[in-house]
Amino acid sequence: MRLAIIGLSNSGKTTVFNALTRQNIETTIYPTVTGEPNYGIVKVPDYRVDKLAEIYKPKKVTYATVEYVDYIGLTKGDITQNRKVFDLIKDVDAIVHVIRAFEDDAVLHPMNEVNPMRDIEILELELIFGDLELAEKRLARMEEGAKKGKKPNEAEKRLLLKCKDALEKEIPLRNVSFDNEEQKVMKHLQFVSIKPEVVVLNVGEKDLNTEKEKKLLSDVDAYFRAKNQDPSLITRHASLSLCGKVEMEIAQLNPDEARAFLDDLGIQEPALNKLIQVSYDLLGLISFLTCGEDEVRAWTIKKGINAQQAAGKIHSDIERGFIRAEVINFDDFISVGSMSLARDKGLLRLEGKTYEVKDGDIINFRFNV
Ligand SMILES: Nc1ncnc2c1ncn2[C@@H]1O[C@H](COP(=O)(O)OP(=O)(O)OP(=O)(O)O)[C@@H](O)[C@H]1O
């Protein structure tokens, strides 16, 4: 799973990226307009993996991971520059949209003043304009082809017209419902406004845990709710606030120092953990767990997949030779503390191929190859 961090220049994208990936890429008070994208793999914090590792003391502990990519900012009205960003993010699973809400005169703002709601609108529109350009170009190419006698792909044409119509009304494609056929055609079209989106309000340190922060966040939620007029659509948007600068400082500390720092600020855990979790949920992902003396591990799967498909995540042989899955949910396991006790108490279930795997299931696959 890969997420792209996007936003206007100087909104704090690299700061958030550094905090997430514990890297130290240079952040500047000037916009970055060239350079290579930054990539980083991030462990998905999971208290269940921590707890199982404590119990099993395995040789290896493996968390689920997500990858983030950070690149240059989007610019109002600059389609050529923005296309560079869209080309990079066309294959990502979701976008993290960083909005500047912190005040600092030393950090240049591309619109000269801090105004988060205006910036959200600008950025959302740039995504829409980028997609509109793409739809129009493809339709024009189809028309050219038709003139030369080439038969257009009717399904794609219908879909492009539907997208164009929505985009012209300034509706992002994530807020349009597409049937299964349309979704299939959509796969190779590389639109960006269709991607699930996590909005991160990057507030100043002094605004953390204040009414101002709460109000801003509820304004952001209201903005996206108002945009999504089809209640049958699954939510493809989530928002949260954090202070990128503080998060980056915490990420550079050792665990004890970080704990003391968080206690000082009256925060339970870094907001980044929530960001990672929210991204995971938004993509409809869950984790199942495997444990033993060799390894305790979290595996990422899509919500709704069955035990046999989940087995395929580990190895195609296990999927092919699947016999049964021995399953216990993490909470039940913890209530007794060991697999043998769980078995004695009948908490360990034997499930077949079609069992729908739940978040936090600890699974032992029985298979035969
Ligand atoms: N929450 C915050 N509070 C105060 N300063 C911040 C905050 N977040 C980021 N900054 C500062 O803002 C400046 C710009 O940050 P950063 O380089 O991360 O932005 P960016 O969006 O990656 O910029 P660009 O892509 O245009 O280079 C840096 O000086 C950074 O320290």
pLDDT tens by residue, 108-148 = 888 889 999 999 999 999 999 999 999 999 999 999 998 88
Mean pLDDT along residues 189-211: 93
- Pull the structure tokens for residue 288: 């199942």
Whether residues 124 and 181 share a domain: the answer is yes
- Ligand 1 in reach of 28 Cβ (< 6 A): yes
pLDDT tens by residue, 148-163 = 888 888 999 999 999 9
User: Whole-angstrom Cα distance, residue 77 to residue 74?
Assistant: 9
- Pull the structure tokens for residue 43: 């462990």
Residue 72 near residue 85 (C-beta atoms within 8 A) = yes
Ligand 1 centroid to Cα of residue 203, in Å, is 11
Ligand 1 centroid to Cα of residue 196, in Å, is 24
Ligand 1 centroid to Cα of residue 29, in Å, is 7
Q: Which helix (H) or strand (E) holds 297?
A: strand 295-302
DSSP string, 15-66: HHHHHHHT------SS---SSPPEEEEEE---HHHHHHHHHH--SEEE--EE
Q: What is the pLDDT of residue 293?
A: 92
Is the pLDDT confidence value at 273 over 90?
A: no
Residue 346 lies inside a defined structural domain of this protein? yes
**ipTM score of the complex?**
0.98
Whether residues 240 and 330 share a domain: the answer is no
Provide the mean pLDDT of the chain: 91
User: Whole-angstrom Cα distance, residue 128 to residue 114?
Assistant: 23
Q: What is the pLDDT of residue 271?
A: 86
Whether residues 276 and 308 share a domain: the answer is no
- Ligand 1 in reach of 37 Cβ (< 6 A): no
Whether residues 317 and 277 share a domain: the answer is no
Is the pLDDT confidence value at 35 over 90?
A: no
Which of 282, 314, 340 is the last residue in one of the domains?
282
Is the pLDDT confidence value at 164 over 90?
A: yes
pLDDT tens by residue, 288-320 = 999 999 999 999 999 999 999 999 999 999 999
- Ligand 1 in reach of 7 Cβ (< 6 A): yes
Is the pLDDT confidence value at 229 over 80?
A: no
Q: Which residue numbers belong to the known binding site for ATP?
A: 10-15
How many domains are there within the chain? 2
CA of 75: how far to CAs of 18, 130, 173, 307, in Å? 22, 12, 20, 46
3-state SS, residue 366: strand
Q: How confident is the model at residue 6 (pLDDT cuts 50, 70, 90)?
A: very high
Residue 298 lies inside a defined structural domain of this protein? no
Whether residues 171 and 320 share a domain: the answer is no
Mean pLDDT along residues 70-85: 89
Ligand 1 pocket test: which of 6, 8, 10 has the largest number of ligand atoms within 8 Å of its C-beta?
10
The CATH number for 141's domain is 3.40.50.300
Q: Parallel, antiparallel, or unpaired: how do β-strands 94-100 and 237-242 relate?
A: unpaired
Residue 278 near residue 237 (C-beta atoms within 8 A) = no
pLDDT tens by residue, 201-212 = 999 999 998 999
Residue 147 lies inside a defined structural domain of this protein? yes
Residue 299 lies inside a defined structural domain of this protein? no
User: Whole-angstrom Cα distance, residue 212 to residue 40?
Assistant: 32
Indicate the residue type of 266: G
Containing structural domain, residue 127: 2-282
Whether residues 163 and 228 share a domain: the answer is yes
Q: Which helix (H) or strand (E) holds 6?
A: strand 2-7
- Pull the structure tokens for residue 97: 């949209």
Residue 87 lies inside a defined structural domain of this protein? yes
User: Whole-angstrom Cα distance, residue 318 to residue 323?
Assistant: 9
Q: What is the pLDDT of residue 187?
A: 86
Q: What is the pLDDT of residue 118?
A: 96
Q: What is the pLDDT of residue 25?
A: 86
Q: What is the pLDDT of residue 192?
A: 95
Q: What is the pLDDT of residue 291?
A: 95
Q: Which helix (H) or strand (E) holds 100?
A: strand 94-100
Percent of the chain with pLDDT over 90: 69
pLDDT tens by residue, 320-357 = 999 999 999 999 999 998 899 999 999 999 999 999 99
- Ligand 1 in reach of 241 Cβ (< 6 A): no
Q: What is the pLDDT of residue 72?
A: 86
Q: What is the pLDDT of residue 327?
A: 97
Q: What is the pLDDT of residue 237?
A: 87
